Amino acid sequence: VASLPEPISRLVAVLSKLPGVGPRSAERIALHLVQNEEGAVRSLAEAILQARQKISECQTCGSLTEQQPCIFCADPRRDHALICVVERAVDILSLEKAGVFHGVYHVLGGKISPLNGVEPEDLRVTELEKRCVDSAVSELIIALPSDVEGDATSYYLNKLFTNRGVKVTRLAHGLPVGSGLESADELTLSRALEGRRQFSS
């Protein structure tokens, strides 16, 4: 924005790269920040930095955590033989909010997409294989979005792990097509989980 002082337009540019923040909101936030109390702005900046510094991926499941392993992987009350495979760390939040899953998680970090150059080795598939070797895993529940890439990834994982003697199931349909777990409500999620079934060959 040419009419704004350079430090503000730089802030607008950075803010508008954030997910869900369009150019108009970025401008509004930037103008709010530069007119806010300096202490409040400093707290915000420090909170962002601290969160970034303290949070890492769980080395086992890939969820976002402050401790290694994460609270899910470290929890003896959870069923560690039951692994729910999700695309992104945020999907865990959706399932936890629904409160119907008592196993552990595995974050893939994406979906197989040859068009976008995403191959299985770009995802946390090797880590999942290792988990299935290292501990007694009785079932993998695939909870990926039901879009083309999600389906391709689900079938890939089904084949890979069925061949290794692990039972693989996927959430029952009913999740909104083309979207993630994020947009599914709790009832839909719990029904999808209860109605999970093995892949038809």
Chain contacts with Zn ion (rule: CB under 5 A): 58, 60-61, 63, 69-70, 73
Q: Which is nearer to Zn ion, 92 or 192 (CB)?
A: 92
Q: Which is nearer to Zn ion, 61 or 193 (CB)?
A: 61
- Closest alpha carbon to 93 in 182, 196, 171, 19: 182
**Min dist. Cβ of residue 111 to Zn ion (A):** 20
Give residues with Cβ within 8 angstroms of 72, minimum separation 6: 58, 61, 63, 78, 92, 104, 105
DSSP letters for 127-176? HHHHHHHHS---EEEEE--SSHHHHHHHHHHHHHHHTTT-EEEEPPS-SP
Q: Which is nearer to Zn ion, 61 or 84 (CB)?
A: 61
Peptide bond into 176 cis (omega under 30): no
Q: Which is nearer to Zn ion, 88 or 175 (CB)?
A: 88
**Min dist. Cβ of residue 170 to Zn ion (A):** 21
**Min dist. Cβ of residue 62 to Zn ion (A):** 7
In this structure, the strands spanning 56-57 and 64-65 are antiparallel
Question: Is 150:123 a contact under the CB 8 Å cutoff?
Answer: no
**Min dist. Cβ of residue 124 to Zn ion (A):** 11
Structure tokens at 140: 């993998």
**Min dist. Cβ of residue 73 to Zn ion (A):** 3
Q: Which is nearer to Zn ion, 63 or 169 (CB)?
A: 63
